[in-house]
Amino acid sequence: MTPTPESRTDDEVLAATDVAVLLRYGLTQDAFRTALFGDGAIAAAITLDRLGVAPRSLAFLAEVVRAGGLAYAAALPEPLPDPEAAGVLRAWLTDAAGTASASEAETWAARWLDAVAEIIAMRRSVRR
């Protein structure tokens, strides 16, 4: 008899998503964009929400991406106030900046950051 696998919550399953890979491909290939803005945005929101990132911090970073580009935002010494969260996000952005150099990809990256911020805000409003 095969043992029943432990059940995991949706949060646990999505938190295991490789956000960097989804960013890398979702910003440059239309076929992956739905996954980036679906599971990828939710996974990023779960991860960053657990680290206490405020939605307004991500919205501000989205504006930085719009103004200076993805590589510029990835190179910021403190893209987020919390060092641990900044390290996680910096790794995602650095990985994405290596492949997403077109201005259209940077526009998608800014929109994705805004989407992640909105998801975090919604999650927090439901928990209250």
The pLDDT tens digits for 21-38 are 999 999 999 999 999 999
Rounded-to-integer distance, Cα 39 and Cα 102, Å = 23
pLDDT at 45: 96
Could you report the per-residue pLDDT of 31-60, keeping only the tens digit for each? 999 999 999 999 999 999 999 999 999 999
Please say whether the beta carbons of 107 and 33 come within 8 A.
Answer: no
Beta strand segments in the chain, E: none
**DSSP classification of residue 18:** -
Rounded-to-integer distance, Cα 127 and Cα 80, Å = 23
Global pTM exceeds 0.75 = yes
Amino acid present at 56: R
pLDDT, mean of residues 108-122: 97
Three-class DSSP category at 28: coil
